[in-house]
Structure 1
Amino acid sequence: MDVLLGLFLFCVLLNTGAALECEICSAMGSRTCTGRMKTCAAVEETCSNTLIEVSQDEQEFPVIIKGCASFHKLITNQYYFTIGGGKIFRMSGVYCVGEACKSALPELAPIQTKPNGKQCPACHSYTSTCPDEVVQCTGSQHYCFKSVSHSVIGYPDGLDVNILMKGCTTDALCDLLNLGKYLSLPGIGNHMAGECWPAKNTCQ
Structure 2
Amino acid sequence: MSEVRSHADDVRLRAMLVAADEAALTEAYDRHAPSAYALAARITGDPCCAEDAVQEAFVELWRHPERFDPGAGSLRTWLCMLARRRAIDLVRRQSAQRTHLTRLAGQAPTEPTVEDDVLGAAQAKAVRECVRDLPQLYRDAIALAYYYGLSYRQVAVELGVPEGTAKSRLRGGLRLLAERMEAQGYSLTGQ
TM-score (ref. length: structure 1): 0.25
More helix by share: 2
Larger radius of gyration: 2
More strand by share: 1
